Amino acid sequence: MKSRTPLTSALVILVVVNLVLLTACGGGGTTSTDRSGNPLPTITVISPTSAVAGSKADVALTVNGTNFISASVVNFAGAARTTAFVSSTQLTAAIPAAAFASAGTAAVTVTNPAPGGGTSNAVPFTIVNPAPINPTPTITSVSPISAIIGGAAFTLTVNGTNFISSSTVTFNGNVRVTTFISTTQLTAAIQASDIANVGTFEVTVINPAPGGGISNASVFAVQTSNPTPHIVALDPSGAAAGGPAFTLRVGGYGFTANSVLRWNGNDRPTTILGADTLTAQIPASDIVATGTATVSVFNPSPGGGSSNSLDFTIATGGVSPQSVAVDPTGKFAYVTNSVSNDISMYTINTAIGTLTLNGRIAAGANPVSMAVHPSGKFLYVANNTEAFVNNVSMYTIDPNTGTLTLIAPPVLAYTCSQSIASDPLGRFVYVASTACEDDIGSVVTYTVNATNGILTPTSEVFYDIGLYPSSIAVHPSGKFAYVANFAYQTFTPTPIEIFSIDSHGLTLIGTAAAGVNSTSVTVAPSGKFAYAANAGDNDLSTYTIDSTNGTLTPNGTIAAGAGPTSVAVDPTSKFAYAVNAGSNNISMYTIDATTGLLTSIGTVNAGVAPSSITILPSSNFAYVTNSGSNDVSIYSIDTSTGALTLIGTVGT
């Protein structure tokens, strides 16, 4: 039998060779794994791990981990970010501030591209709300406001705004145990040692950081005896006979915790608001009949005594009318009464010009000026009192009856508001304030809500250092505004200030010379000329207006009566009128249509101490308030000559 071993071996070798060849050519069953692709990245830690929402700064984010390559990309909140490769264990990425617009959590990942590669695990990045910024506190009053030396410990009440739970009261620079009552009131424990010496000591409130700060100081007096009080102002200074009970506010100095207001020598319930302010409740029975009441303040012993006295006027109707305005339709007229603190409302007989009184509505303290919105839907009144807070009252006008309805609580204004005006486009209202004796007058811009008429003060406030803005007028184009000024306790000429108007407010662009103590400025409806009443010079300044840039070119002066306080131009721009408070009359002028120069056509008598004039849109009638006789003079206008003819008066 022959052996088969050689053949078997050859077959085995052939099979092995074929298998090797098949594998090398990609044939057969199993494929080997490819180890040449990009690795899968992982993140271990990021830095920083959070940012503040609303931040304005970009963030350089550092990402630590493994398997990073030069092509790795950092993703933040699902978006690829500009990435820098540092090493296989670290990347950096630029995260723009826009990515932190709102609070929340953003996922941070790293992506390596194919082949291989992929997206890493996600690590959270927290976007937190900014820490609350504590407000700066303010103090409006403290109670009591004084103490006698050597007295016992007591609780001091501090009233104001922006108080928080961590607010602290300081007395003479020393922090005292403070109790938070509300955002408008704190109490503090004042020690007997705090009032062991005579003097005046500052009370302040401190709010801690972030933000916060120290308030204005309120003065607390430690005295050997009570001072003799002195009073300088009443608010209101008059009321209508038969009116309701009211709160009388008194300004002065030397008031103590035990001061009492006396009305015709009789004590009235009194609240002390500070060393310079107190209030008292006056019942309706005190103002039943017309006449004059005597108001004083009494401080008890030790020391003390009675103050000087001021008169309080009780009259029929509105007292001391200061300004008059008509609505754009010429159907309704309104008069501010500064002493009775109200507004008289009238309907106008458009055929004969007469006024019918339709009642009065309360205003703020000492309403002195008003403006009707060009839509005829709203009326705004500037309230001015030297001793107290000034504001602007806002009203809607009933289109059928002319009745006013208070819109909302008054909006704050600066001290001693004198004049208010609306721009002809209805976007803004402006209030010019003298700041009384502080040498810092101002003009405040308010935006108008066209739906409800509510005013909102803008952040743009023009401060007039050393000047006292007395009147503001807006050009018919709505592009420019003009402010008249007077100088307190001096007899020097003061300029007319010229402003451009944009969406942000007023920008001072120049001045034009005027006379002494300009009390009123007006722009002719044509927009070509302006006129200012100079009470100190008893004349009017005339100007031409550059319609391109709003600048004024002085064009001379013309004599008026004694103490002109108000000037108006008729709607046709043919005639001008100046009210003279010192001579109780009205100066009348024609206007040259080319030059704007005025030519006198005489005067006409008014009531006692005329204060303001306005002209109907029809140009047929004019109305003048008389602050001394508490009435309104009604005049017809000769449309050919401009002459005024008195046709009647009506009470306020």
- Contact predicate 491/536, CB 8 Å: yes
Alpha-carbon distance of 180 to 280, in angstroms, equals 27
Averaging pLDDT over each range in 243-252, 397-406, 495-504, which range is the top one? 397-406
441: pLDDT strictly greater than 80: no
Worst-scoring range by mean pLDDT, 176-185, 238-247, 472-481?
Answer: 238-247
Are 530 and 473 a contacting pair, CB within 8 Å? yes
Closest by CA position to 422, among listed 470, 373, 379: 373
Residue with tokens 């937190």: 128
pLDDT of residue 587: 98
What's residue 55's pLDDT?
Answer: 85
**If we measure between CA atoms, which residue out of 103, 108, 53 comes closest to residue 78?**
108
* pLDDT for 9: 39
Of 290-304, 340-354, 403-417, the range with the lowest mean pLDDT is 403-417
Q: Which of 278, 245, 243, 284 is nearest to 259 (CA)?
A: 278
Per-residue confidence (pLDDT) for residue 502, from 0 to 100:
86
**pLDDT reported for residue 306:** 95
Quick one: how far is CA 379 from the chain centroid? 18
How far is CA 560 from each of CA 40, 324, 586, 638, rounded to the nearest angstrom?
A: 93, 21, 8, 20
The answer, yes or no, to whether residue 36 has pLDDT greater than 70, is no
518 phi, psi to nearest 5 deg: -70, 125
pLDDT at 60 over 70: yes
User: CA 413 to CA 473: how far, in whole Å?
Assistant: 18
Give the pLDDT of residue 492: 78
Helix, strand and coil percent figures for the chain, each rounded to 5: 5, 55, 40
Write down the pLDDT at residue 141. Answer: 85
Q: 3-class DSSP state for residue 7? A: helix
Spell out the residues 6+ positions from residue 31 whose beta carbon is closer than 8 angstroms to its own: none
Spatial contact of 108 and 61, defined as CB atoms under 8 Å apart: yes
H helix intervals, 554-617: none
302: left (phi over 0), alpha (psi -120 to 50) or beta: beta
**Phi and psi torsions of 476, nearest 5°:** -55, -25
**Domains 42-128 and 321-651 are alike in CATH topology:** no
Separation CA 146–CA 143 (nearest Å):
8
Residues 6+ apart with CB under 8 A from 469: 418, 419, 432, 433, 434, 441, 442, 443, 483, 484, 485, 497
Give the whole-angstrom CA distance, residue 174 versus residue 163.
18
DSSP readout, 267-298? EE-EEEEETTEEEEEE-GGGGSSSEEEEEEEE
The predicted pLDDT at position 360 comes to: 92
Distance from the first to the final alpha carbon of the chain: 152
- Confidence category of residue 286, pLDDT binned at 50, 70, 90: very high
Ordered by start, the domain boundaries in the chain are 42-128, 138-223, 230-315, 321-651
Q: Which one has a higher pLDDT value, 132 or 111?
A: 111
Average pLDDT score over the chain: 89
Return the half-sphere exposure (C-beta side, CA atoms, 13 A cut-off) of residue 215: 30
Percent of the chain at pLDDT above 90?
Answer: 70
8 has a pLDDT exceeding 50: no
From the list 317, 203, 250, the residue with the least C-alpha distance to 626 is 317
Residue 313 has pLDDT above 60, yes or no: yes
Superfamily name and number for 230-315 = Immunoglobulins (2.60.40.10)
Specify the pLDDT at position 251.
87
Q: In the prediction, which pLDDT does 497 show?
A: 93
- CA atoms of 93 and 526, how far apart (whole Å): 63
Element of type H or E holding 263 = strand 260-263
For the ranges 19-28, 151-160, 184-193, 427-436, the lowest mean pLDDT is seen at 19-28
Contact 390, 416 (CB under 8 A): yes
DSSP string, 495-546: PEEEEEEETTEEEEEEEE---BSEEEEEE-TTSSEEEEEETTTTEEEEEEE-
pLDDT for the residue numbered 385: 65
CB 575 within 8 A of CB 585: no
d(CA 515, CA 136): 43
pLDDT value for 336? 97
138-223 maps to CATH 2.60.40.10 = yes
User: What pLDDT score does 524 carry?
Assistant: 97
Q: In whole angstroms, what is the distance from residue 574 CA to residue 181 CA? A: 63
pLDDT in tens, 331-384: 999 999 988 889 999 999 999 999 999 999 999 888 999 999 999 999 999 998
pTM, full prediction: 0.60
At residue 557, the pLDDT reads: 97
CATH fold for domain 321-651: Methylamine Dehydrogenase; Chain H (2.130.10)
Which pLDDT belongs to residue 283? 95
The distance of Cα 604 from the centroid of its chain, to the nearest Å, equals: 41
Confidence of residue 459 (pLDDT cuts 50, 70, 90): confident
Alpha-carbon Rg of the chain, whole angstroms? 39
pLDDT digits (tens, 9 = 90+) for 518-563: 999 999 999 999 999 999 999 999 999 999 999 999 999 999 999 9
Contact 522, 567 (CB under 8 A): yes
11: enclosing H helix or E strand:
helix 5-24
Q: Is 325 in contact with 334 (CB distance < 8 Å)? A: yes
Q: Containing H/E element for 176?
A: strand 174-176
Residues shown for the chain: 652
Are 31 and 25 within 8 A, CB to CB? no
Question: What per-residue confidence (pLDDT) applies to 349?
Answer: 96
Summarised one tens digit per residue, pLDDT across range 202-221 is 999 999 998 999 999 998 98
Angle CA 565–367–370, to nearest 5: 70
DSSP labels for 341-365?
Answer: TEEEEEEE-TTT--EEEEEEEE-SS
pLDDT confidence of residue 389: 62
pLDDT at 16: 35
| pLDDT score of 411 more than 50 | yes
CATH architecture of 42-128: Sandwich (2.60)
Gap between the Cα atoms of 250 and 77, Å rounded? 63
**Which of 178-192, 263-277, 304-318, 454-468: highest mean pLDDT?**
178-192
pLDDT at 3 > cutoff 90: no
